[in-house]
Amino acid sequence: MELKPVKNVTFVEGGVCAAKGFRANGIQCGLAHAGATVTAKKNDLALIVADTECTAAAVYTTNKVKGAPILVTKEHLKNGKARAVIVNSVNANTCNADGVEKANMMCELAAKELGIDPEDVIVASTGVIGQVLPIEPIANGMKSLAEGLTYDGNPRALEAIMTTDTRKKEIAVQFEMGGKTCTMGGMLKGSGMIHPNMATTLTFITTDAAISEELVQRALSDVVKVTLNRASVDGATSTNDMVCVMASGSAGNKPVTKEDEEFEKFQNALYAIMMNLARMMARDGEGATKLIECAVSGAETEKIAETVAKSVICSSLFKAMIFGQDANAGRIYCAIGYSDAEFDISNVDIDMSSKSGSIALGRKGCVTAFDEDVAKKVLSEDEIQIIISLGEGPGSAVAWGCDLTYDYVKINGDYRS
């Protein structure tokens, strides 16, 4: 899928290794579901390491059940500093009596090989919930993982965090800040159990920009609200969601310590990364064949626009409609109508657009007559935009989702096997 451009940033290659001073690697250490054997050759353990100490920040799942790695990472990031990320797939290390112990052991194993403090390690896990994480494969693979770190190791690391993902999700941008060229890159896993409110993802972002830990946290907390929090696949918010940012300062810009124009540049670059990763995540929803973007304008407030956009992309009937390429505008009006927002439905217009054209589906709260063949052609593309005007004010918002297909049930019907 095409990246969506953002002003004042340039897309570059390299993912989490694009910024100066970041190495990565991924290996298959031999993790497997309980009762299963390791047959696939996919990597399952990744490491991202900065050459120097970084300012760091993170946001986490809002699920009341939190994976052990989140509990450990929260403690480690209390000082706003980090040097490395260790992350595994296959096993979420969640709802286990020894989960925190195992998460700490992962940090200690990585730190020993890297010669750093275990508290400077961010730890994350993704996979099956409720199965004990075997630490032996991780311990046995750590030396090889660390020795294989390279400044172009991002593809290996990215593969290691994927579970039911079918597409690789990484991006990097360059931008000017303080008279210096700065670079920021990120990678994301996420395909199922994805719902607005931190979404369901492990996302790791690196940058060589210099910025205080307070402002890294502020930028991340603000940007996640208008990117990952607006992506939904299936209405499920997971236990292990985490997005972290590490900023090394290697670009040499004067450190950003206040919310000025330079901070806005950093925040804009972070938006370019996270918005495009959110779109990639929605496009790769489990079993999905189409990316849906719902753009709402004309609301009294941004919050109202966001609520309406989320209501549409979360509607199972609407998602099934997109899969079946059936331009049933009544389902869109219905989803708008049951959103928890105040507006006058008699003002609401709906249009639908894709690379194959645009078509008006509704005007002033009523479904309009349209050419079914044209509608079918618009819906035949793999990226569909639903454009809604509430006709009441300046507020606007965008949310992303995907269609609901037969394969979603197939994938989740035997997830543990």
pLDDT at 288: 80
Asked if residue 5 belongs to a domain, the reply is: no
Q: 315 near 323, Cβ under 8 Å? A: no
258 and 203 part of one domain: yes
Q: How many domains does the chain have?
A: 2
136 and 221 part of one domain: yes
272 and 297 part of one domain: no
Using one digit for the tens of pLDDT, what is the confidence trace for 250-305? 999 999 999 999 999 999 999 999 999 999 988 887 778 899 999 999 999 999 99
pLDDT at 417: 46
Asked if residue 4 belongs to a domain, the reply is: no
95 and 236 part of one domain: yes
Last residue of a domain, one of 258, 283, 308: 283
Last residue of a domain, one of 251, 283, 315: 283
320 and 194 part of one domain: no
Q: What percent of the chain has pLDDT over 70?
A: 93
pLDDT at 31: 93
Q: Give the pLDDT band (50/70/90) at residue 377.
A: very high
Using one digit for the tens of pLDDT, what is the confidence trace for 157-176? 999 999 878 889 999 999 99
Asked if residue 102 belongs to a domain, the reply is: yes
272 and 372 part of one domain: no
How many angstroms separate the CA atoms of 111 and 132, rounded? Answer: 22
300 and 223 part of one domain: no
Those residues with Cβ within 8 angstroms of residue 260's Cβ, 6 or more apart along the chain or in another chain: none
Last residue of a domain, one of 228, 263, 283: 283
**182-216 as b/e, with b when 16 or more CB fall inside 10 Å?**
bbbbbbbbbbbbbbbbbbbbbbbbbbbbbbbbebb
DSSP 334: H
The rounded mean pLDDT for the chain is 92
Q: 50 near 114, Cβ under 8 Å? A: no
pLDDT at 318: 94
What is the torsional sign of CA 278, 284, 287, 293? positive
pLDDT at 107: 98
309 and 378 part of one domain: yes
84 and 211 part of one domain: yes
CATH of the domain at 73: 3.60.70.12
Those residues with Cβ within 8 angstroms of residue 127's Cβ, 6 or more apart along the chain or in another chain: 31, 33, 88, 89, 90, 91, 92, 163
Asked if residue 2 belongs to a domain, the reply is: no
Using one digit for the tens of pLDDT, what is the confidence trace for 306-323? 999 999 998 999 999 999
Asked if residue 80 belongs to a domain, the reply is: yes
How many angstroms separate the CA atoms of 296 and 312, rounded? Answer: 10
Q: 171 near 186, Cβ under 8 Å? A: yes
pLDDT at 264: 98
Using one digit for the tens of pLDDT, what is the confidence trace for 57-79? 999 988 888 899 999 999 999 99
pLDDT at 216: 98
How many angstroms separate the CA atoms of 129 and 416, rounded? Answer: 9
348 and 278 part of one domain: no
232 and 298 part of one domain: no
Asked if residue 404 belongs to a domain, the reply is: yes
Q: What is the mean pLDDT of residues 99-125?
A: 98
219 closest CA partner among 188, 252, 244: 244
355 and 257 part of one domain: no
Asked if residue 189 belongs to a domain, the reply is: yes
Q: 208 near 251, Cβ under 8 Å? A: yes
68 closest CA partner among 114, 117, 105: 105
- The helix/strand/coil state of 113 is helix
Q: 175 near 10, Cβ under 8 Å? A: yes
Asked if residue 3 belongs to a domain, the reply is: no
Q: Which residues are catalytic?
A: 200
Q: 314 near 235, Cβ under 8 Å? A: yes
CATH of the domain at 349: 3.10.20.340
Domain hosting 373: range is: 291-413
Using one digit for the tens of pLDDT, what is the confidence trace for 339-366? 999 999 999 999 999 999 999 999 999 9
